[in-house]
Structure 1
Amino acid sequence: MTPEELSSAIRAALLEATAAGDFAVDVPAEVRVERPKNRDHGDWSTNIALQLAKPAGMPPRDLATSLATRLGEIHGIARVDIAGPGFLNITLDAASAGELARSIVESGTAYGKNDAEAGHTINLEFISANPTGPLHIGHTRWAALGDSMRRLLTASGADVTAEYYINDAGAQMDKFALSVVAAAKGEPTPEGGYPGAYIGELAETVVAQRPDVVDLPEDEAVAVARPLAYQAQLAEIRSTLERFGVFFDVWFSETELHEGGAVEQAVARLREQGHVYDKDGAVWLRTTDFTDDKDRVLIRADGVPTYFAADAAYYLSKKDRGFTEKIYLLGADHHGYIGRLKAIASAAGDDADVNIDVRIGQLVNLGGAKLSKRAGNIIELSDLLNWIGSDAVRYSLARYPADSPLSLDGEELRKQTNDNPVFYVQYAHARTANVSRLAGEDGVRREDGFDPSLLSDPTEATLLATLGDFPRVVAQAAHLREPHRVARYLEDLAGRYHKWYDTCRVRPMNAEEEVTDLHRTRLWLNDATRQVLANGLDLLGVSAPERM
């Protein structure tokens, strides 16, 4: 019996009880079941009696008693206990619990997917680094977590568009182009420009396409170099992200936002809403009406739009494209953006508590990492991938909440020991693959038999209960936007699998031992664990190796 089947069984018992007049309540469309923290309290627990007691007009334990009697008659439920004020602790018989192994194997990559976030249309924006240099360690956290968040939300039924906002407008792009031109002409980096060997590499790319750039006046040279260097740098950013397993559905250009008149249109729309006013020659948005600490300038007195105006236009673009929910994943130095962006949402007529979610990722410190030789003063993401590998970086970033500062040891992440969490989980998957491979050589085949009642060892009951919890973990991690819950679940699952592996054999002890349904059924459980480990790692963008 899967958690979903048990949930349906409890709901059916509620419907029967109301029909029989035991109590009168509106039966919810779904009954939530959870795995108790203490294994002695059964396989699953529900607080449905506490939820319905007040509308039913009866003590929770009385309602729980009525429900427990009906649940105890259901095939596959061995025992129902009432705990505390009215919790129902449910123990399945071995056969019913063991059926989950076959269900997981047959579901394959679909196991864990759910519809908890169905109906949500989400724009998920993350990284959005300036295209003036390579991606560095400051971008890695949201690169890993943002992509994992996208995978989780999609697995939970949401319609998600991952978007990268290219900050390709403004003074930084002029400084970037001037730096490239100076490097092409063999001149020093201009004041406030970008140093680093990568600028020289970009200059070589520009010269290869336009050799005449070195002979042009500065303003003409900048006009030529800017788009060529920008495209080359953006291509490198895309390539590095692809190596990191991160892909975007939309690359949104800030320049196109300005050139298409979206900024002016945004100001006009907000003025129509009654939140824009003129003062001292500038155009302001009255964000203090929406808990911001001060009003914000949209258009300066000299007629130049502010970054805030572009933020407003960008938000309205997302709204106009049909995204009812906009998630912004911003860096540690962007705390001030929370109030501003929420004020924009409110000024645009949205609910700031529903239609926008702004999250701040704290800094990451990686011990042992060396500064980039190309950039000079940063730790490049590409160097991290060469040194540690994508799997270790992604998993290590995924297993901690984004709002906590993080310090990692690069050399520890490279070690192939059980003290390294990513190795521990990946090794569990590789072990399941090895068990399946060797069992096949010994003639143990799943299709030859399956008797779930044979999965009676305590380690099997614990492993099955953990496997059954995976869909709930996925749904919860998606709802809370917290990928670390999946990582910690996988570590728990790996530990329980290793304990089961040490206790229960899938293969015969020797050539003389006959292959039985116990071996075959345990192979189902082994392969079910393999599937859940693979599914969970995929949600984190981490590979599931067959051999290690």
Structure 2
Amino acid sequence: MTPAELSQAVQAAVSAAVEAGELAVAVPEHVTIERPKNRDHGDYATNVALQLAKPAGKPPRAVAELLAERLRGITGVTKVDIAGPGFMNITLDAATQGELARTIVEAGSAFGRNEALKGLKINLEFVSANPTGPIHIGGVRWAAVGDSLGRILKATGADVTTEYYLNDAGVQISKFAKSLQASANGRPAPEDGYVGEYIADIAKAIVEGVPGVLDLSEDEQLEVFRTEGLKLMVAEIQRSMEEFGTHFDVWFSEKSLHDSGAVEKAMERLREQGHVFEQDGAIWLRTTDFGDDKDRVLIKADGETTYFAADAAYYLSKRDRGSEVSVYMLGADHHGYVNRLKAIAACAGDDMDRNIEVKIGQFVKMLRDGQEVRLSKRAGNIITIDDVVEWIGVDAARYMLARSSTDSTITIDIDLVTSQKAENPVFYVQYAHARMCSVQRNAVEKGITRSADFKPELLSTEWESNLLGELAQFPGVVAKSGEWREPHHVATYLEKLAREYHRFYDNCQILPKGDEEVTDLTHARLWLADATRTVIANGLTLLGVTSPERM
């Protein structure tokens, strides 16, 4: 029995009490079931009686006793105790708990998937670094977190579109083109231009790919370096993302907003909502009506549209393409964007607390030999995605970048995450999976196949019970991670599950030794080991991390 199934059983008990006239309350849509920290308090606990007491006009303990009496009659429930002001502590029999192992194995890769966000259309935009250089360490964090979140949201039933916004218009692209032109002509980079080996590499590729480009006029050259440089840089970013295991459904061009007239149309739509005004020759959006610290310029006095105008058009584009919720995942230096983006949604007539979400990721530090690593050989002054992959590999990078809350700074110790130590969380979780695969191989070598005659009641030790209890939490963790947009809960869970498995493995003999007989307990524990392997593999898949069979 999973927590979700027990939640439904408690919900049914409330419904039965209401139908019998014992409680005059609305049946809750969801009943929270938790695993007590102290296992002497049972396998699961719920505070539903405390929630219902006031509307029922009864003491919490009286409500709890009414519900407990019904729950005690459910198959698999051995005991329901009332504790404190009205908590219900529920104990299940070993067979009911152990049956979960069969449920997991038979569900396979589908176990953990749920419908918490069924049908919700979400546009998930992340990374979106300017296409003027390689993805830096901050973008790498979002590549790991964003891709993991997209996987988790899909696992909770959401209809997700992952998107990369290419800032391929404006001042930065001009600086990039001028930097490439200068490098190709053997001149120093312009002031505030881009430097690093990648600039020289791209400039060389353009000269080789466009014969005679250096014979053109300065203006004609610049246009070639702009167009071809952007094309090559975007291709490089796409390559690095795919090699990192991060897939985008849409690569959206900012330039397309201007070329298609979407920016002008967006301003007309905002004007219709009554939030556009003119002042000092410029056209503004009154975002202060919705919590922004100042109103924002859409069109400057000289007629030039602003980045903010493109931001507004981009948000409306997402909504026009069917997005109910637009999630923006921005870097640590974008705190000022939160209120202005939410204000755009409000000015467009949307619910700024529902239709748009803005998450800010904090900085990442990398250590080697106890010292912070700061520079990249190729980019000159930043750590790039290729640097990270070279130093610690894709699996370690994705796991470590996704295992912490995005509002906290991460420090990654290169020496630790490339070691085979229990202190290395990546190794610890992957090793648990490899260990279970080893058990399966050893079983095959001994001629033991997992019996279909599974006796779940034999999984009765505290180690087995604790492991089963942890396995039961997985669907709830996935649902919570999706609803809260926080993939790190999956990583935290996997580490707890791996710890429980290692304890089970160290204290419960799975396979017979020497001439010992194969027993029903052998088969039951093989079911449990395979169930744990399944859940760890499913969790790692949600994080975009592999599940090695040997280590």
TM-score range, shorter chain: over 0.9
The separation in 2 between residues aligned to 1:136 and 1:326, in whole angstroms, is 24
The separation in 2 between residues aligned to 1:400 and 1:65, in whole angstroms, is 41
Deviation of residue 313 (structure 1)?
0.6
Once the two structures are superposed, the pairs formed by residues 454-469 of structure 1 within 5 Å of their partners are 454-469=458-473
Amino acid at match of 2:164: Y
For 2:533, the equivalent position in structure 1 comes to: 530
Amino acid at match of 1:458: E
Deviations 1:125-179 (A, max 9, x none): 1110000111111211111111111111111111111110000000111111111
For 1:541, the equivalent position in structure 2 comes to: 544
The separation in 2 between residues aligned to 1:160 and 1:81, in whole angstroms, is 43
Amino acid at match of 2:16: E
Deviations 1:55-105 (A, max 9, x none): 222111111101111111111111111122211111110001000000000
RMSD (Å), alpha carbons? 1.3
The separation in 2 between residues aligned to 1:363 and 1:320, in whole angstroms, is 33
For 2:274, the equivalent position in structure 1 comes to: 274
For 2:506, the equivalent position in structure 1 comes to: 502
For 1:211, the equivalent position in structure 2 comes to: 211
Secondary structure at 1:444 match in 2: coil
Secondary structure at 1:447 match in 2: coil
TM-score (norm 1): 0.98
Give the counterpart of 1:491 among 488, 495, 499.
495
1:362–1:404 Cα contact (<8 Å) kept? yes
For 1:252, the equivalent position in structure 2 comes to: 252
Amino acid at match of 1:544: S
Amino acid at match of 2:502: H
Deviation of residue 7 (structure 1)?
2.3
Amino acid at match of 1:430: A
2:18–2:24 Cα contact (<8 Å) kept? yes
1:387 corresponds to 2:399: no
Gaps of 5+ in 2: none
The separation in 2 between residues aligned to 1:448 and 1:296, in whole angstroms, is 67
1:443–1:515 Cα contact (<8 Å) kept? no
For 1:78, the equivalent position in structure 2 comes to: 78
Deviation of residue 448 (structure 1)?
4.3
For 1:438, the equivalent position in structure 2 comes to: 442
Give the counterpart of 1:478 among 482, 493, 499.
482
Secondary structure at 2:114 match in 1: coil
Amino acid at match of 1:415: S
2:175–2:193 Cα contact (<8 Å) kept? yes
For 2:304, the equivalent position in structure 1 comes to: 304
Secondary structure at 2:332 match in 1: coil
2:41–2:89 Cα contact (<8 Å) kept? yes
Once the two structures are superposed, the pairs formed by residues 407-422 of structure 1 within 5 Å of their partners are 407-422=411-426
Amino acid at match of 2:89: N
2:330–2:359 Cα contact (<8 Å) kept? yes
Once the two structures are superposed, the pairs formed by residues 353-392 of structure 1 within 5 Å of their partners are 353-368=353-368, 369=373, 371-392=375-396
2:2–2:473 Cα contact (<8 Å) kept? no
Deviations 1:437-466 (A, max 9, x none): 111222322234310010011100000000
For 1:324, the equivalent position in structure 2 comes to: 324
1:237 corresponds to 2:275: no
1:121–1:158 Cα contact (<8 Å) kept? yes
Secondary structure at 2:333 match in 1: coil
Deviations 1:298-330 (A, max 9, x none): 100111011111111111111111111111111
TM-score (norm 2): 0.97
The separation in 1 between residues aligned to 2:126 and 2:40, in whole angstroms, is 43
The separation in 1 between residues aligned to 2:11 and 2:408, in whole angstroms, is 40
For 1:346, the equivalent position in structure 2 comes to: 346
1:173 corresponds to 2:173: yes
Amino acid at match of 1:376: G
The separation in 1 between residues aligned to 2:456 and 2:71, in whole angstroms, is 21
Secondary structure at 2:451 match in 1: helix
Deviations 1:13-61 (A, max 9, x none): 2232223222232323443322222222211112222222222221111
1:2–1:99 Cα contact (<8 Å) kept? no
Secondary structure at 1:211 match in 2: coil
Deviation of residue 3 (structure 1)?
2.4
Gaps of 5+ in 1: none
How many residue pairs align between the two structures? 547
For 2:118, the equivalent position in structure 1 comes to: 118
For 2:295, the equivalent position in structure 1 comes to: 295
The separation in 1 between residues aligned to 2:7 and 2:411, in whole angstroms, is 41
Secondary structure at 1:446 match in 2: coil
The separation in 2 between residues aligned to 1:121 and 1:5, in whole angstroms, is 27
Tell me which moved more, 48-57 or 533-542: 48-57
Deviations 1:350-396 (A, max 9, x none): 11111111111111111134622221111111111011101111111
The separation in 1 between residues aligned to 2:400 and 2:414, in whole angstroms, is 10
Deviations 1:218-250 (A, max 9, x none): 110111221211111111111111121111111
For 1:519, the equivalent position in structure 2 comes to: 522
The separation in 2 between residues aligned to 1:433 and 1:162, in whole angstroms, is 33
Identity of aligned residues (%): 61
Secondary structure at 1:128 match in 2: coil
Amino acid at match of 1:403: D
1:68 corresponds to 2:72: no
Secondary structure at 1:520 match in 2: helix
The separation in 2 between residues aligned to 1:24 and 1:150, in whole angstroms, is 42
2:123–2:327 Cα contact (<8 Å) kept? yes
1:61–1:82 Cα contact (<8 Å) kept? yes
For 1:453, the equivalent position in structure 2 comes to: 457
Secondary structure at 2:240 match in 1: helix
Amino acid at match of 1:542: V
1:125–1:165 Cα contact (<8 Å) kept? yes
2:374–2:381 Cα contact (<8 Å) kept? no
Amino acid at match of 1:527: D
The separation in 2 between residues aligned to 1:39 and 1:399, in whole angstroms, is 27
2:130–2:167 Cα contact (<8 Å) kept? yes
For 1:406, the equivalent position in structure 2 comes to: 410
The separation in 2 between residues aligned to 1:378 and 1:59, in whole angstroms, is 62
Secondary structure at 1:208 match in 2: helix
Deviations 1:507-541 (A, max 9, x none): 1021x211111100100000000001111111111
Amino acid at match of 2:494: L
Secondary structure at 1:474 match in 2: helix
For 2:20, the equivalent position in structure 1 comes to: 20
Tell me which moved more, 523-532 or 286-295: 286-295
The separation in 1 between residues aligned to 2:189 and 2:217, in whole angstroms, is 17
Secondary structure at 1:271 match in 2: helix
The separation in 1 between residues aligned to 2:448 and 2:88, in whole angstroms, is 39
Amino acid at match of 2:333: D
Deviations 1:405-435 (A, max 9, x none): 2222111111111010110011011101111
Deviation of residue 295 (structure 1)?
0.9
The separation in 2 between residues aligned to 1:485 and 1:340, in whole angstroms, is 29
Secondary structure at 2:89 match in 1: strand
Secondary structure at 1:176 match in 2: helix
Secondary structure at 1:388 match in 2: helix
The separation in 2 between residues aligned to 1:409 and 1:199, in whole angstroms, is 29
1:442–1:508 Cα contact (<8 Å) kept? no
Amino acid at match of 1:193: G
